[in-house]
Amino acid sequence: MIATLLATMLLAGATQLRAASLHSKREFRGAWIQTVNGQFTGMSTAAMQQTLKQQLDELQRDGVNAIIFQVRPECDAFYESKIEPWSRFLTGVQGQAPLPYWDPLKWMIAQCHRRGMELHAWINPYRAKTAGTKALARNHVAALYPNRTFAYNGQLILNPGLPENREHICRVIDDIVTRYDVDGIHIDDYFYPYPAAGQTIADDQEFRRYGGGFANKNDWRRNNVSAFVQQLGQTIKDRKPWVKFGVSPFGIYRNKKSDPVNGSATSGLQNYDDLYADVLLWVNKGWVDYCVPQLYWKIGHPAADYQTLAIWWNKYAGNRPLYIGESVEKTVKEPDLKNPATNQMEAKFKLRRMLPNVQGAVLWYAKAVADNMGSYGTALRTYYWKTPALQPLMPFIDHKRPKKPKHLEAVWTEDGLVLFWEEPKGKRWGDFAQKYVVYRFAPGEDIDIENPAKIVAITHDKWIKLPYNKGEVKYTYVVTALDRMSNESRKAKKKVLL
């Protein structure tokens, strides 16, 4: 069944040429930088900045255009907050500010934007304490309001059944969106806790108080999470309409055993039934702006086959941009089913490119790429992500493109020949240029800005240094403006002797 469906999709895709195109001009190429694993705990400010710079430089070379940075692992902060305490995963002690002082989120935004990358702030909504945290700061929400949490498997969880917890989380995110120039807010798969043997969720009292109208507790729990997702999305849009709201759910929505009509041919944990996360409702209602299911398994996994799930999500979650969450380690360590001498990277990239609703990938996790595990980074920069890519469009937020850049001029400076331009005028947030795309064409070449191989820079600057060489060849430079939603302006052109 799956093989037949895939063959039909591949044949249809071939007629659209999308499948034949290795390099897409628009593609979300993300990487998660996690902090909850303790990789930065206790590092000096200088050491952590140097580590992050090295990772970002490598990721930029590898074609990554978006960083998803974990800033709130347990109701704490990797940024200056008056609401929640500094994270112990930053300084080693919850509530203790870094010394020398710095604001990692503010710093990361500047570093990413300098490299032409987006920065999405990744928060864990409900997790208040991980099992390894032994002490909470006095201003931590679980210390201030212990009755608003429940214990589960060594953790503390903000009870999703309490409206005041939804209000608290939305207040935290509104604070981030208000004070920081983030491109997105990102939540992962931790809603109600992952089931653990011998553990129960202590929410009988809340169900009695708030569960009227629901036939059972499971439906009530799902509604709690859905109400939060809807409220958080609205909170973000009310503050800054251009900030993208993304979710990265566990890779299985429901198994066919639970839902013979819409379930996938899998047999694993389920978002809907086990985590009380009705992800498809959020996608189809438009409450989120993008979805990144975590498909960390191999092609051929007996319980959760990557190919089966990628096809399933492509079919059911196409109402919003769909990116695939990819495990670098699982990909490079698993042999290709048809060619065991190679790993599964090529097969997975080919599959994603064949699926019309899949518009990118997010890599788990950034350090594995930066460390070039299994030559994954080398393959990205030399083949799969060799050419730059713009972000996928989101016309449901904004579809109007900005005006084109003005007054392109090549000027000799003490640093050499530089192409300058001026920012186009705008009246509202969707009109203003945020970045620019610079293309270069040799004599006789068609001016085709749909060809990503002709992109020489995606930059926040209003200038680019030109590679002058004897002044014997006249090249055509094209500069376009991108607004906050990556809508692209018309072309501004300038011929330059190089």
The long-range contacts involving 294-297, CB below 8 angstroms and separated by at least 24 positions, are 294/188, 294/189, 294/248, 294/249, 294/250, 294/251, 294/325, 294/364, 295/251, 295/324, 295/325, 295/326, 296/251, 296/325, 296/326, 296/327, 296/330, 296/364, 297/251, 297/327, 297/330
pTM across the whole model = 0.94
Give the tens place of pLDDT for each residue, 84-136: 999 999 999 999 999 999 999 999 999 999 999 999 999 999 999 999 999 99
Residue 3 is predicted with a pLDDT of 44
Domain co-membership, 313 together with 437: no
Please check whether residue 22 lies inside any domain of the structure.
Answer: no
Number of domains in the chain: 2
* Shared domain check, 226 and 335: yes
pLDDT at res. 104: 98
Residue 42 pLDDT grade (very low, low, confident, very high; cuts 50, 70, 90)? confident
One domain, residues 367 and 268: yes
Residue 301 belongs to a domain? yes
Query: Mean pLDDT, to the nearest integer, of 211-233?
Result: 97
Distances (CA, A) of 298 to 306, 333, 345, 407: 6, 9, 10, 52
Q: pLDDT (tens digit, 9 = 90+) per residue, 385-408?
A: 999 999 999 999 999 999 999 999
Q: Are 291 and 211 within one domain?
A: yes
Residue 15 predicted with pLDDT over 50: no
What is the reported pLDDT for 23? 73
459 and 377 in a common domain: no
Per-residue model confidence (pLDDT) at position 188: 93
The answer to whether position 366 is within a domain reads yes
Q: Give percent of the chain above pLDDT 90.
A: 94
Percent of the chain with pLDDT over 70: 96
Domain boundary among 383, 398, 417: 383
* pLDDT tens string 324-347: 999 999 999 999 999 999 999 999
Q: Which of 335, 352, 383 is the last residue of a domain?
A: 383
Q: Is residue 21 part of a domain?
A: no
* Strand, helix or coil for residue 476: strand
Q: Do both 424 and 345 map to the same domain?
A: no
Residue 51 within a domain: yes
- Per the CB < 8 A criterion, the answer to whether 228 and 167 are in contact is no
Average of pLDDT values for 412-435? 94
268-271, Cβ contacts within 8 angstroms, sequence gap of 24 or more: 268/303, 268/304, 269/194, 269/195, 271/189
Q: Which domain holds residue 420?
A: 406-497
Name the pLDDT band for 8 (thresholds 50, 70, 90): very low
Distance between CA atoms of residues 116 and 418, nearest Å: 19
Supply the CATH number for residue 479's domain. Answer: 2.60.40.10
189 with 307, same domain: the answer is: yes
357 and 232 in one domain? yes
**Higher model confidence: residue 20 or residue 145?**
145
Is residue 452 one of the residues assigned to a domain?
A: yes
pLDDT confidence bin for 7, thresholds 50/70/90: very low
Residues 44-54 pLDDT 10s: 999 999 999 99
Assess contact for 358 and 322: CB atoms under 8 A: yes
**Inter-residue contact 275 to 189 (CB < 8 Å):** yes
Looking at residue 24, its pLDDT comes to: 87
Same-domain check for residues 355 and 423: no
Cα separation of 2 and 264, whole Å? 10
What is the 3-state secondary structure of 106-163? HHHHHHHHHCCCEEEEEECCCEEECCCCCCCCCCCHHHHCHHHEEEECCEEEECCCCH
Residues 378 and 439 in one domain: no
pLDDT the model gives residue 18: 41
Looking at residue 22, its pLDDT comes to 62
CATH (domain of 59) = 3.20.20.80
Question: What are the tokens at 401?
Answer: 């493109």
Identify whether residues 276 and 417 lie together within a single domain: no
Of 383, 418, 433, which residue sits at a domain end? 383
Asked if residue 187 is part of any domain, the answer here is yes
Tell me the CB-side half-sphere exposure of residue 46, using CA atoms within 13 A: 0
What count of Cα atoms within 13 Å lies in the side-chain half-sphere of residue 1?
5
- Whole-angstrom Cα distance, residue 422 to residue 411? 13
Q: Per the domain annotation, does 78 fall within a domain? A: yes
In this structure, are 193 and 270 located in the same domain? Answer: yes
Mean pLDDT across the stretch 365-390? 97
